[in-house]
Each structure stands twice: as C-alpha cells, then as structure tokens.
Structure 1
Amino acid sequence: MELVENSFQYVNYLWDKKHVETIDGDEVQLLLYRSNILGSDLRITNYGGGNTSCKTIEKDPVTGLPAEVMWVKGSGGDIGTLTREGLSTLYVEKLRSLKAIYRGLAYEDEMVRLFNHCLFDVDSRAPSIDTPLHAFLPFKHIDHLHPDAVIAIAASKQGKAITEELYEGQIAWIPWQRPGFDLGLQLEKALGASPDIRGIMLGGHGLFTWGETSYDCYINSLEVIEKASHYLENAYGRLHPVFGGEKVASLPAQERLNQAASLAPVLRGLVSREAPMIGHFTDDERVLEFINSHDLEKLAPLGTSCPDHFLRTKIRPLVLDLPANVPLSNPLDISKRLEPLFEVYREGYAQYYEDHKRADSPDMRNPNPVIILWPSVGMFSFAKNKQTARVAGEFYINAINVMKGAEAISEYVALPLQEAFDIEYWLLEEAKLQRMPREKPLARKIALITGGAGGIGKAIAQKLLEEGACVFLTDVDETFLAQSVQELDRENTGFAPLDVTRQNAVAEAFSKISLQFGGVDIVVNCAGLAISKPLEETTEKDWEHLQDVIVKGQFNVTKKAVEILKAQGIGGDLINIASKNALVSGPNNVGYGTAKAAQTHMSRLLAAELGPFGIRVNVVNPDAVIEGSRIWEGAWAEGRAKAYGISPEELPGHYAKRTLLNEIIGTRDIANAVFALVGGLLSKSTGNIINVDGGIPGAFVR
C-alpha cells in the first residue's frame, strides 16, 4: 500500500484497505467509496462534475431471474458526497436495446425520456444524460472524471496527437461532442477499434477510465491523471513564461482584502439588477497568476471549454477596467463608473443569445456576469446562493488550470460558441432547472445580527437560516459566539466578534460579511444589556453603559449598514430589537427604559430618512424573554423581581399572568416577528413596531 500511495505526486491516493474490508465485497458500496474519495480531490474532478458506475447481477423482482444492473450517479449530485439515494439503477440489457430505436443526433432528447423505462429500481434517482456512456462500455466499474490536467490536454490544439504520444496509444481520442446517446455509441466504437485501451479522452470535455474491480478502476484513473499532471508540470515555463508572464503585480494581501471588501457590495448591486445574488471572493494564487498576466486579455474572452465549467460560470468572465488601488470611499461614484462596463457585458450576452438561439430555445436567462476578475486583487463570483457562488469560483479556477496547461503544451481551444450555447440552453438543462425546488422566502438575502450569541439573537439566526438567508453573527462575547455558530449551518453562516460601541470594529465586521457573502440586506440590531435600578442607585457608569451599547451601538451599526445598502442600490431591512419598556413606564428602570425609547425613536427617524432608498426600518418589542437570555442571569432578574416584590423564580409566571393572552414569550416568538417583517409579505411597511409581549395594554402603540 505504501509503495502505491507514494507513487502519486499530483493526486491523492486515499484507498484505505482496512475500511474496504468492512464493506465486505459489496460492489455498490465500493462504488460509493471510490466515488467519494475521487470527488474529495478537486484536481480529479470538479464539484458536481463527472459520474461513476458499477454493474452487478441482481434478481429481477418480476421474473426472479438474474439480470445485469448498472448503478450510476443520477442526474445532479456530486460524486464526492454521493450516497445510494443518488444513484440511478437500470437494466443494462434494456439500455443497450435502445440502440435499435435510436433515430440519430436530432433525437437525443427523446432517448433521455426512454431511460426511465429501463429503471430496475423505479424509486432511484432520475438517470442523467451520461447514462448510455456507461452502459455501452462492458466494464464492471467505470469513472468519468473532469481532471484539470486531462482537460488541459483535451482542450489544446494538438490534444489528439499529445494524447496518442503521451499514453502510447492506450488512451483513445474522441473529438468534442455534446454528451448524450450518440456519444455513448462513439465510446463503444472507440473500444471496439482498440480493445486493449485503458481509457478514452473526450475532446474538450474529460476522461473515461475503467477496471474489473473498483480498486482497479480507481488506480487506473489515478495513473492516467498523474501522467497528464506530470507532463504539464514539466512543460510550465519551458517554452515561454506561464500566461505570458506577469503584467501587473498583486496588491499586498491585506490591501487586496480591503479593496475587495469595499468593492463587493458595489458589484453585488450591479449583478443584482434582475435578481439578488450572493457573492464569494478569492485571491487564490492561481487566480492572481492568471488575472495579473499578459495573456488575460487574450484568454478570458475565449470562454471555458468543459461544459461543466461554463454552465456554472457563464461562457466568459467580466474583467474590471479599474485600478487596483482606486480609492473606494465613495461607492456610489464607483458604481456609476462601472455601470457602462456591466451594460456592455449584458449587451454582449444578449447578442450571444440572439446569434445562437434555436427556434425552441428557452428565454434568455440573467445576462449579468457570474465571474468578475479584478487584476491585482482577485476574483468575485455571484450566484443564487453561497454554495453555488463558491462552486462557480472553484469551477473558474478549474478553467484557469485548463488554460494554463493547454497554453504550456500547445494552444488553448475553447468550445465553439454555438456548441456552448446549445448546452447552456439545452431543453434538458432547462427542464432540470424547472424541477428545482422553489426558493425559500429569504433565498438570496444576507443578514447581519448583532448580539447573535444571545438567546434572541441566536433564535433569529436560526429562523433566517431556515428561511433561506445567509447569516452573519456578531457578539462581544467570543466564547458564546463560537458556541452558537457550531450549532448552525456552516456554509451559510459567518461570524465575527464585535463591540458595537467601537466604529472601527463595526467597519471590520461589515468588511468580513462583504468578503464572505458580497454585502448585506438585513441588519438586526439585537446587541444589548439590561440594568434595573431605582434612580438613586443608577450610576453615571450605568447610564453611559446602557446608552453606549443600546443607542450608540445601534447608531454605529446602522450607519455602516446604510453605507453598504446604498452602495448596492437594491433596498434592505433594518430591524431593531427594542423592548416593551420603550413604551411602558415601569419602576426601577430609568436607564434601560430611556435607552430603549431612544432606540425606538431612532428607528422612526431613520424610516423617514431612508425610505426613498428602499430601506425599511422597523422595530420588534419583546417583553420578558427569559428563555436562553443572558440578560436574565444575575442582577437584572433580581432587580425586576425586587421591583415587583416577588422572587426571581416567580418571574416567568408573573410576566405571563399580566398579559392579555396569559402566555410566556420565547425566543422563537421574537424570531418569527423578525421574519414577518423581512419575509416579503410586509415589503411595503416601514416605521412600524411589532409588540411581542403577550398583550400588554400599556404598550399599545395607538
């Protein structure tokens, strides 16, 4: 095992014999294991790309006779996370019998519908377009992968000749062809012409390899990819500098992040003119090598080669014509400066659509760029959610790797635009998009919550995540913050320690959310504290502390949030968590009640000021939320109990009995009120107060 493992330099050998022994020869489990370890290495295949299969003999549930069954990754999904539920299970004989009724390239789509008639397990995942590519090859285990090194050869001008020479005839070559039934026939034909080959290279697309066992297939795949990787590594810089050499230098690392954080909301606003988008940023060294090079201008407009790449990234990126060190203190000016560049991109995409559309093509999709390159700084990617935006960036890095390799050994060749269009607007792809689940109410929204580690703040975060938002938590208590984040969806959650009384710390938190998600749409001011004392016991320090955190803190956070919301130009929501005490006069509460009243009136003032920008400002007034609240630990609970002449243990019952509904208020109740204000049904409401107190007449607003 050690000798095999150490023989690979450019891919990860991850086969664990001890783990495989626990699988005990289950071919389907071996397929899943192989798929997962292959998919864990992005040098081997990109997220969601490629597919794997195995063939077994199963008992036909109808006839009781043995039948050959193929288990293959179904439509959608990712081999790195593939489970049994993600497999399509089909009769091999039935699939192969479809060759008798195949009517040619013009009828590819009808064949996909017929795959459903070949299902062995009718409850398995829908078969993908690549199903016949696996069915028409006789091998028990097959991998179809998209390794960058292999695609670099497949997407080079001399790709066929290089493949033949490099692999000494062991890898066959099939010129570019759209995936489908006919491509499966071409694979079968290539194998028939050269029965001793170990794999097939698909021009501009990827690699097929196989083996009689799962392990043989795995090793075959690794060896073919390793050989291509080694060949490219020896070629870099041999004939000419990579990408023609460096044209511009990168900004220092922290300056790159500062500039990217400042520009991200501007870009997000520009790409969100048709629908809001979530962003991702990277200054990966592979990105910088490409965007800083002399060849950027030549290669970026060519577009990507592998279909998986441009389906995720659009056919080409937008390159910013903007100095890396440009001052970004006035984002609105930068937005106006960049708008013409974006309009040229949109017009170019519309022309691409008009030039290549078919009579039955779906309507043109969003014409805004997915990938935006800023020389000297990095790459932004924008999509409908965080995962898709991140993966789009990863795919473009795959495309960069392909261009780098192809240029080192030959000349990079992108797909012809008509071929690219026919895949991007393929009716089968459109049907797949139409089958996608309906987006949640807060999909494409980004929320920042202060006091996010407390009971109310964490409940709000959980609710907004459930409804589809990306959420960024902040809190002054780093320990509680770290614990709270561990309980949440990590892909869509960010966090940063934050003292809301410090403007620099506030600015830093908004920089982090802009880098992670592209900007912000919803800001929930939930940071607070409570001090309950009669007037004569309230110290100047008590008073200043309450005013600083509750009033000044809300001001600091709101001011920075509005700067970003205006830069985006797509509106937004400010939700301030105040208190019933903002409206009701109670004993021993002068400091806290005054701060909450100021917080509430600030909200009304800002609603009036920010309405013309589409920014809504609303208030949620909780009362006596004891569940999970650190405010109720210690002195505050004792102070309120003393004010009412009861023990701290009697407080929950006391508060419930004084309400019209006789209800105890929980953190989830406050979270639901926040969602009511930001979920879309109250999009024309601003300057309002929602009391969540069980019904206290003294707190009625009118």
Structure 2
Amino acid sequence: MAATTQTKFRHVSYLWDEKKASELAGDEVALLIYRSNLLGADLRLTNYGGGNTSCKAMAKDPLTGKETEIMWVKGSGGDIGTLKRSGLAALYVDRLRSLTNVYRGIQYEDEMVELFNHCIYDLQSKAPSIDTPLHGFLPFKHIDHLHPDAAIAIAAAKDGKRITRELFNGTIGWVEWQRPGFDLGLKLRQCVEETPGIRGIMLGSHGLFTWGDTAYESYMNTLEVVERCAEYLEENLGKRRPVFGGTKLKSPDKAQRLEQASALAPILRGFCSSQTRMIGHFTDDDRVLEYINSKDLDRLAPMGTSCPDHFLRTKISPLVLSLSPDQDLSDVKTIKEKLAPAFEAYRAMYREYYETCKHPDSPPIRDANPVVILYPGIGMFTFAKDKQTARVAAEFYINAINVMKGAEAISEYTSLPRQEAFNIEYWLLEEAKLQRMPKPKPLSGKIALVTGSAGGIGKAILKKFADEGACVIISDNDQSRLTEAENDFKKLYGKDVFASTLMDVTNSDNIRQAMKTAALAFGGVDIIVSNAGISISKPLEDHTEKDWDLLYDILVKGQFMITQAGVNVMRKQGLGGDVLNIVSKNALVSGPNNAGYGSAKAAQLHLSRLNAAELGADKIRVNVVNPDAVIADSKIWAGAWAEGRAKAYGVKVEELPAFYAKRTLLNEVILPEDIANACFAFVGGLLSKSTGNVLNVDGGVAPGFVR
C-alpha cells in the first residue's frame, strides 16, 4: 500500500517512510512522535502550534507492577511538527475517565484541569493540555486532532453538517461548536457511541478528529479525509459564485507594493504600539491579495475567524485601511491624520466588545489595538510582541482566508459568535497560561540596526542586543562576512530575530534599502548604531586627499546619513529611539600620524552632540561610546593601520594588544563584548533620560577623559 499511496494524494503530502517506521515497530510512543512530525510538516494538515495527537498503549504501573493502559498526548504548548517525547503528557486512562464521577457540569469544567494532574503516569512529562479529555474519552488507540483549512472550511460553512454527512456518506460524525474542555470530550464519546463505525468527527467551526488502530492507519485516515475535503472544495470553487465575489481592484506590481508597505509600516507600528511596543510582519502573498482585492472583503473581514486557533492569534477582526494602493505616503503628518480615526474606531469597537461580553471574573481588557491590518492592493501587516508571534499571526490569518474561500465556495461562511470568541480570548485558563509566560527581556519589542556589523564590535553589539530580546538588522559592505554572520545568527537565534542588508554607509541608495529592509522585516527601527569605520594612520606629509576624503566619507558623512535615515523612520513611528555612535578616544586625544582619522573622529563626536541637541523633542537620544584599541575580529587591525600604529609607538604589530593594555589605568585589553555592554547600558532602559553623553570604554586613558 505504501508504495502506491505516494501518488494518491494531490492536496496533502504522503511522507510515511516504511523503512523508518519499521525501525520503530513495537514502540507506540515513538510511532506517535514520528506520525506527529509528519503531520506537522504539512501546513495543509495543520498550522503552527495547532492540533494535537495521541496514542494509547500498555505500560507497567510503577506502583503495582501490573500492565495498565496509558495515554500519551501532546502536552500544553508546543508544535506537533517538532514534537519530542518530552513534549508529551502521559496519563492513566482509567483515572482520566474516572473523573466523570466528580464532574459537576459544564459550568464547572475548568476545575477539571487541575484534576488531570492526579492522572499523570510519567511525572517528568509535559503538563496536560485542555484537549486531554478530547482524546481520553475516545476508545481508539491512535488519534489525530488537526485544523486543516479544507476541513474547517466545511466545518465553518452554514450547511457544514449536511455537507459533511453527504460528502462522507455518514462515516464522519458531527459535533456542534463547543469550547474545548472536559464536556467536549464527553460529547465526542457520545457521538461515537451513537454512530458506531465512523472514521472521524468534524467539530463545527473548529477542526477534525480522525483515528486508527495503528499509527499508520491513523495517518492514512487523516490524509484521506483531508484530501477528500480539499477535492470537494476544488470541485466547487467558482461554480456557486465568483471567488470572494470577484475582483474589486488590481494590485500594483511587486516593487511598488514593497515601496508602499515599507513607507507605511513604521506609521502603523507607531499606532499599534500605543500601549505596548510591537514588532511587525508584512506579506503580499497571492492568497492575501486575492482576498483583500475582492468585492467580499468588506463583508467578510468584520466577521472575524471561526477556528479558535485562528482567532486567538488574530483577534476579533482585522482593521481594513481606507487607503488607495497608489496613495502618496510622503506626507507623514497627513497620513497619520487620515489613519488616526480608523485606529480609534477599532479600539472603541474592541472596548465595546469587551464590555458587552465580559463576565464578572473576566481578566482585565487587553491591548485594544489590531493585530491584523489589511491594505487593499498592497498586502497584510501583523503586529505582536515579537517577530515570531507576528509572523504566525499572519500565517493563521491566511489559514482563515483559506477557510473563508472554501466555505463561500460551497455554502456561506460563518464565524464564531462574538460571545463565544470572547469566552476563548478571555478564558481564565488562557489567562493563567499568559501569566506564566517569562518576563519580557529589556529589549523586547525593540529593533536595532548596526552598521559594519558582520564582525568585530558591530557583531558583538548585535549579539548583545539579540540576547536581550531585540530584533536586529545585520549590515555590512562585505558580502562574504555578511553571509558568515547570517549563518551564525541563524544558528544562534533562528530566522525571526534578524534580517540583513548589504550596505555601504557612503551610498544613500544602500541606506534607503537598509531602512526598507528594517520596515518590511520588523516594522521600523528603534536603535541605530553607527559603527562602520576605517582607519588610516600616516604622517601628515604622506596623507593624501584620497585618504582624507575616504575617512570623512565613511566616518562623518556615513554617520550623518545613517542617522538622518534612521531618525526619519523613528519620527514616523513617534516612539522615540536611540542613536549610538561608536567613535574613539582619538576624538579627544592627540597622537602622532593621526591627523585625518583623529579629526574625523572629533567630527563624529561633535556631530553626535549636535544631533542630541536637535532630536530631544522627538524623544530620540543620541549618545557616544568611545572605545580604544579593540583589536579582536576587526578588519581595521588586519592591515596597514596596525602597522602604522606599531611604527608610531615603536613596537611590533604582535605587541600592540599588550602595549595598549599597559598604557591604560586599569591595564586591561578591551574586547568587542566590552563595547557591546556599554551600548546596552545606554539602550537597556536604565539610562532612558540620558542623551548627549560620552562613555569611554578604553581601560582608562586619562587624556581621553571628557571632564
């Protein structure tokens, strides 16, 4: 069967490897993990973090020594695509089912969650999730509970129950929408008892349950049911009516969409950060464009989503912007005035939703700003506490778009009633989960761009900022070093923490592209660190005009241009910000063979003071870090500069680190990490009322003291 099944499916991926599975034979838990990972690898079957899987098998009771039935099920949190044994909860099946003896009814079902702990078999296992009884009360050995778009499209259709019955000839049961929990588990058991022989259950507006006697049978059953749902949607797409009612407007080309998005993103981020600083994500995926350019957008968007997995991440409904695709976005003040009423109306809607639906014990109202913002013709923006959450919100809203498209093709789309949606969003169990989340790091919600950051000081600064919670943009004029840094950051932090851009700080087009990269990747920028540098050490008579121009172009003009561009983005956001300039003790200390470099550094320092004086009204702080002799991983020290300094001081090149350390008051070698720590001191929150300052990180060079 396995040899022929690979070509059987068009809408889902058959990934089962019989050889690999045979190596796991006899270990039902290992086969559960294998099956779960395969299901999670296909986003047409389930979305990130969505769904859960389980198996029931016999194991020895450590207290009695007797064989007893144990259920292993995905624990709270996690993702089945990356599920490991440590992510499973293991419970005694008989104990879990015996909880019906103390169940007091649906209005008390939340109290059952704590009782799951009395059913735990493996004390090292993950905490059981709210979906545990949904698996526990079903009699099957292997169970998949997933949220495939194709199935939810039917589950969210007005005629979903009838369509399910006819499509599967009664072999798929139906349970009406109900919030996941103990009582829904009992409803699933009742459905199986009343319709014996069914191969699965469709949950109204919610998702799909399928099962089998073995891991493979469950896997195949899931694929076959989802494939049939997808085929049915495909067969009917466009027959009942044009997709989303037909096209209302046409998008500009890709380049223009990205121009508009990058220009608008910082403004939107500013609005969405009125309560908590947010990180953004943008996509102009074809599925998004088809939806936001359609005639049905105005009808469907306010309805919100149906599946609770979608809703929890995208909020009650999106904000649809009333901007034309070719809107002139250059006049920031005018655009903000145009958008402000729309954001206030959305916040008022959300507050009314909360007040209308709240219960006496509901948690306090949360941030009233939208998560999903739709710009017809251009694309979709999402904003959340970090990049991963914002990106996943976009993925879930695309899932919701798929559901709406399918449901409208076969019937009429229906969303969760607002009270049901509220009961999910402000569920006390969800609130308890939020309260257990780790405290945000100091730079959470911040975006930092550091020039010359593929190595040395710049790279150390970016790593420090990323470690403290920031999203970062790596920029450098050396493609090979940039690629190396990208690989390093991907291994350390994953794809959601960094973006990169090739940038020569003397090239205005490069700088504009860097700001565009920051806006599209994260929504804007909060911290600009001007670190890119060059050093030329020559006696006065050997200094050329070319040397002079190169030093001033990179150090002074480069700092000016990157500050100017960064401040432009910060002003769009209206959130303040930080400009940090990595200068040098040479800005203050006179030394031999240093006329061009030292004077350029002095210009950088005074430019920083001038900018600090000008930008205070925008809550933009400008501060300076003055390093000295940071040799590790620095291109500056790899060539003529080191030779020139060694010659000036009458020592060998290899003796420079010791020479510089000995001339300091602390007798210390200065490392890139020392400069990174100084930068963090300025932007980490403790010095938020400090601007126009100089912090020396040089081991103590008395002539470099500012005062």
What is aligned with 2:577?
572
What is aligned with 1:376?
377
1:525 paired residue among 518, 522, 530: 530
SS of residue in 2 equivalent to 1:404: helix
What is aligned with 2:290?
289
Distance in 2, Cα, partners of 1:531 & 1:331:
41
SS of residue in 2 equivalent to 1:70: strand
What is aligned with 2:189?
188
Distance in 2, Cα, partners of 1:470 & 1:281:
15
SS of residue in 2 equivalent to 1:102: coil
1:130-529 paired onto structure 2 within 5 Å = 130-488=131-489, 489=493, 490-529=495-534
Post-superposition CA distance 1:267-314 (Å, at most 9, x none): 000000001000000000000000000000000001100001110000
Alpha-carbon deviation of 1:512? 1.1
What is aligned with 1:635?
640
Q: Contact 2:247–2:290 at 8 Å: present in 1 too?
A: yes
Alpha-carbon deviation of 1:265? 0.2
SS of residue in 1 equivalent to 2:188: helix
1:57-76 paired onto structure 2 within 5 Å = 57-76=58-77
Q: Contact 1:662–1:694 at 8 Å: present in 2 too?
A: yes
Shifted more, 386-395 versus 39-48: the winner is 39-48
Alpha-carbon deviation of 1:124? 1.5
Distance in 2, Cα, partners of 1:41 & 1:315:
27
What is aligned with 1:667?
672
Alpha-carbon deviation of 1:154? 0.2
Post-superposition CA distance 1:317-350 (Å, at most 9, x none): 0000011111111223211210110000000000
**Gaps spanning 5+ residues in structure 2: where?**
none
Distance in 2, Cα, partners of 1:23 & 1:619:
59
Distance in 1, Cα, partners of 2:594 & 2:466:
34
What is aligned with 2:542?
537
Distance in 2, Cα, partners of 1:22 & 1:698:
71
Alpha-carbon deviation of 1:24? 4.0
1:685 paired residue among 669, 675, 690: 690
Distance in 2, Cα, partners of 1:700 & 1:158:
78
Distance in 2, Cα, partners of 1:485 & 1:661:
35
Alpha-carbon deviation of 1:126? 1.2
User: Quick check: 1:590 aligned with 2:595?
Assistant: yes
Alpha-carbon deviation of 1:240? 1.0
Distance in 2, Cα, partners of 1:472 & 1:18:
43
Distance in 1, Cα, partners of 2:185 & 2:650:
82
Shifted more, 11-20 versus 241-250: the winner is 11-20
* Code of the aligned partner of 2:589: V
Distance in 1, Cα, partners of 2:481 & 2:553:
21
Alpha-carbon deviation of 1:619? 0.7
- Number of aligned residue pairs: 702
Post-superposition CA distance 1:409-432 (Å, at most 9, x none): 000011110000011000000000
Q: Contact 1:53–1:70 at 8 Å: present in 2 too?
A: yes
* Code of the aligned partner of 1:513: A
Distance in 2, Cα, partners of 1:653 & 1:617:
33
Distance in 2, Cα, partners of 1:226 & 1:285:
22
Q: Contact 2:25–2:31 at 8 Å: present in 1 too?
A: no
Shifted more, 301-310 versus 331-340: the winner is 331-340
* Code of the aligned partner of 2:618: F
Distance in 1, Cα, partners of 2:7 & 2:560:
59
* Code of the aligned partner of 1:391: V
Distance in 1, Cα, partners of 2:42 & 2:470:
29
What is aligned with 1:608?
613
* Code of the aligned partner of 2:262: A
Distance in 1, Cα, partners of 2:105 & 2:624:
63
Alpha-carbon deviation of 1:487? 0.6
Cα root mean square deviation, aligned: 0.8
Distance in 1, Cα, partners of 2:429 & 2:47:
21
Q: Contact 1:447–1:472 at 8 Å: present in 2 too?
A: yes
Distance in 2, Cα, partners of 1:452 & 1:337:
38
Q: Contact 1:332–1:566 at 8 Å: present in 2 too?
A: no
Q: Contact 2:53–2:73 at 8 Å: present in 1 too?
A: yes
* Code of the aligned partner of 2:424: I
Distance in 2, Cα, partners of 1:485 & 1:461:
12
* Code of the aligned partner of 1:620: V
* Code of the aligned partner of 2:237: Y
Alpha-carbon deviation of 1:18? 2.4
Distance in 1, Cα, partners of 2:404 & 2:192:
29
1:554 paired residue among 547, 556, 559: 559
Q: Contact 1:45–1:146 at 8 Å: present in 2 too?
A: yes
What is aligned with 1:118?
119
* Code of the aligned partner of 2:499: G
Q: Contact 1:32–1:83 at 8 Å: present in 2 too?
A: yes
Distance in 1, Cα, partners of 2:410 & 2:571:
48
SS of residue in 2 equivalent to 1:550: helix
* Code of the aligned partner of 1:413: T
Alpha-carbon deviation of 1:158? 0.3
What is aligned with 1:54?
55
SS of residue in 1 equivalent to 2:173: strand
SS of residue in 2 equivalent to 1:343: helix
Post-superposition CA distance 1:388-447 (Å, at most 9, x none): 000000000000000000000000011110000011000000000000111111111111
Distance in 2, Cα, partners of 1:611 & 1:214:
63
Alpha-carbon deviation of 1:23? 2.7
Q: Contact 2:47–2:148 at 8 Å: present in 1 too?
A: yes
Distance in 1, Cα, partners of 2:599 & 2:90:
67
Post-superposition CA distance 1:483-503 (Å, at most 9, x none): 011111232110010011011
* Code of the aligned partner of 2:621: R
* Code of the aligned partner of 1:514: A
* Code of the aligned partner of 1:523: I
Shifted more, 42-51 versus 22-31: the winner is 22-31
1:599 paired residue among 592, 600, 604: 604
Shifted more, 17-26 versus 440-449: the winner is 17-26
SS of residue in 2 equivalent to 1:238: coil
Post-superposition CA distance 1:119-148 (Å, at most 9, x none): 111221111110000000111110000000
Q: Contact 1:573–1:617 at 8 Å: present in 2 too?
A: yes
Distance in 2, Cα, partners of 1:32 & 1:440:
33
Distance in 1, Cα, partners of 2:700 & 2:93:
66
Q: Normalising by structure 1, what TM-score?
A: 0.99
What is aligned with 2:39?
38
* Code of the aligned partner of 1:231: Y
**Gaps spanning 5+ residues in structure 1: where?**
none
* Code of the aligned partner of 2:525: V
Distance in 2, Cα, partners of 1:453 & 1:223:
49
* Code of the aligned partner of 1:524: V
Distance in 2, Cα, partners of 1:67 & 1:673:
59
* Code of the aligned partner of 2:639: G
SS of residue in 2 equivalent to 1:487: helix
Distance in 1, Cα, partners of 2:501 & 2:225:
44
Distance in 2, Cα, partners of 1:70 & 1:626:
58
Q: Contact 1:565–1:571 at 8 Å: present in 2 too?
A: yes
Post-superposition CA distance 1:590-609 (Å, at most 9, x none): 11111111111111111111
Q: Contact 1:50–1:146 at 8 Å: present in 2 too?
A: yes
SS of residue in 1 equivalent to 2:161: helix
